[in-house]
Amino acid sequence: MARTPSAKPASRKSAKAGTTVTKENLQALGADRLADLLVELAGQDTVLTRKLRMALTAAHAKDKLGKEIEKRLRTIQRSRGFLPWDRIKPLAAELDALRQSILDDVATMDVGQAISTMRILVELAPSVYERSDDSSGYLSDVFREAASDLGTLWGRQAGRDPAVTVRDMLTLLDGDGYGTCDHLLVSCGEALGKPGAAILRSTLLARLRDLPASKAKGDYRTDIARMQTVAHLKDLADAMGDVDAYIETVNLSDHQSVSIRDVARRLLNKGRAREALEWLDRETDATSRFRWENDDLRIEACEAVEDRDQAQSLRWKVFRERLSLPHWQAYQRHLSDYDAIDAEEQALDHIRNFPARGVALSTLLEWPAPEEAARLVREHTAELDGRDYGTLRPAADRLSESYPNEATLLYRLLIEAVLDRALSRYYSYAAKDLASCRMLAPMLTAEDGIETHEAFMSRLKARHKRKLGFWSLIGEH
């Protein structure tokens, strides 16, 4: 039978698409075929077998799911073999899937069972850490999430005695040697309520009173105990959204100055900008560790109290100190068109004369003011550091099309910084920079007195002829 014009053969692309492993293509196989494949694979993969068993339990025997998860967690807890690096991520993925199942599936059937199972997961952490290297942080992330989930589940259990929540929480916090419960208390606002918060606060304050004062510099054990108790009081204040309790706790601390920024941030969030400014005014050059961050808080607070002149003055100050373009742009947005013209020239002049030439170069290119950037390279080549490859190489790449002389100067700085120090592990980068110089060589102009590529190569060979590892990379010996 003749084919009608509209009946076109299936394209090769669509045929190939049907063999790609996607959800839609697998659904087309049908349930029976997929079930056969999964049964076959499960016989070869114990991890897949466990996942399938959990999925079947969740679908057909949800009331038994908590016990199944608990059984698996107990098995992991009893294990003693060391976990090599390539097993950390799969284990973390399995534990996270179990955590999510407890929170989403078990809790819908029995919150009490979910609480019991999630607590087992949280308490599993030490035994897992002791036989593994969690430098990646995969496991710690899962355990911290589980601790936060436990606090959430406590809040979902109807009629739960706040005193029991306080007791259980303190048991976990006091026994936590790995930071697993760092986020537990903050998630417990609903579980504690005002009665539980009052019990916990009085308990922690009593502990703080009973702890000895730090006797001397380096009395770490006493200092740590006090700092941990203060940290718990701060977390409690955050859990209850009580900024005044947070401030009272800071006033009990031996290190109030480090909390200036935290207090100001919380006061701003509560719309108490004038009080935030009063706290920021406590800052001194000797005590501030977060001066730049505090500048932004101060600007935000000044805007909130409608002191826009002071906010503008601070933006200009921050720009001048560290050439922060976001602060310049915010400053510029608050100027009239007439004032903005003069301010822009003043800002550019400040960048031109900024003593950290690499920072100035990056800022001019980001502005963007490429002509000014090229001028800076020409006039201050000797003040640029060839070791600053994170600045100079992107700058050279940006300038290479329109300013080959200046780009070449930067590439040469990078090359010589490597060769002068015989940094053999960076020879491949220097070779690439030399290739860039070779490519730009035909475009060089003598108007700035720049050394020709041939003269540069002769000087380089004379000075570094023994660095055979470098010359072998560019095919010269």
How large is the average pLDDT for residues 397-408? 97
Q: Shortest CA distance to 147 belongs to which of 181, 175, 113, 187?
A: 181
CA–CA separation, 206 and 201 (whole Å): 9
Can you give the pLDDT at residue 47?
A: 67
How far is the CA of 140 from the CAs of 44, 97, 122, 168, 173, in angstroms? 30, 15, 10, 21, 15
- For residue 41, how far is the Cα from the chain centroid? 38
Can you give the pLDDT at residue 3?
A: 43
Can you give the pLDDT at residue 399?
A: 98
Residue environment code for 329-351, b if the CB has 16+ CB neighbours within 10 A, otherwise e = ebbbeeeeeeeeeebeeebeebb
Burial class from Cβ neighbours inside 10 Å (0-12, 13-18, 19+) for residue 201 reads: buried
- On average, the pLDDT of the chain sits at 89
Out of 211-215, 311-315, 389-393, 472-476, which region has the weakest mean confidence (pLDDT)? 211-215
Interior angle at CA 57, CA 56 and CA 63, nearest 5: 155
CA–CA separation, 449 and 430 (whole Å): 24
pLDDT in tens, 150-206: 999 999 999 999 999 999 999 999 999 899 999 999 999 999 999 999 999 999 999
pLDDT(15) > 60: no
Residues linked to residue 83 through DSSP beta bridges, in sequence order: 132
Half-sphere exposure of 239 (CA within 13 A, CB side): 28
How large is the average pLDDT for residues 390-415? 97
Cβ of 459: how many Cβ atoms within 10 Å?
Answer: 13
| Higher per-residue pLDDT: 126 or 214 | 126
Can you give the pLDDT at residue 296?
A: 93
Can you give the pLDDT at residue 64?
A: 81
Encoding tokens for residue 118? 């999630």
Q: List for the chain the helix, strand, coil content (%; round to 5).
A: 75, 0, 25
Can you give the pLDDT at residue 76?
A: 92
Can you give the pLDDT at residue 221?
A: 66
| Higher per-residue pLDDT: 197 or 222 | 197
pLDDT in tens, 72-121: 999 999 998 898 888 899 999 999 999 999 999 999 999 999 999 999 99
How far is the CA of 338 from the CAs of 41, 85, 313, 334, in angstroms? 73, 62, 18, 12
pLDDT in tens, 237-282: 999 999 999 999 999 887 788 899 999 999 999 999 999 999 999 8
CA–CA separation, 135 and 149 (whole Å): 23
How far is the CA of 363 from the CAs of 35, 341, 342, 374, 376, in angstroms? 60, 18, 19, 12, 11
Can you give the pLDDT at residue 199?
A: 97
pLDDT in tens, 346-365: 999 999 999 999 999 999 99
pLDDT in tens, 121-130: 999 999 999 9
How large is the average pLDDT for residues 16-33? 79
Cβ of 430: how many Cβ atoms within 10 Å?
Answer: 26
Residue 28: band (very low, low, confident or very high) from pLDDT cuts 50, 70, 90: confident
- Residue 269 — φ and ψ, nearest 5°? -65, -25
Longest Cα–Cα distance of the chain, Å, equals 101
Residue 451: band (very low, low, confident or very high) from pLDDT cuts 50, 70, 90: very high
Can you give the pLDDT at residue 218?
A: 59
Can you give the pLDDT at residue 1?
A: 38
Long-range contacts (CB closer than 8 Å, 24 or more residues apart) made by 455-463: 456/412, 460/415, 460/416, 460/419, 463/419
Q: Shortest CA distance to 154 belongs to which of 120, 122, 118, 183?
A: 118
Encoding tokens for residue 185? 């208390």
Can you give the pLDDT at residue 5?
A: 46
Burial class from Cβ neighbours inside 10 Å (0-12, 13-18, 19+) for residue 159 reads: exposed
pLDDT(222) > 70: no
How large is the average pLDDT for residues 141-158? 97
CA–CA separation, 147 and 143 (whole Å): 6
pLDDT in tens, 302-356: 999 999 999 999 999 999 999 999 999 999 999 998 899 999 999 999 999 999 9
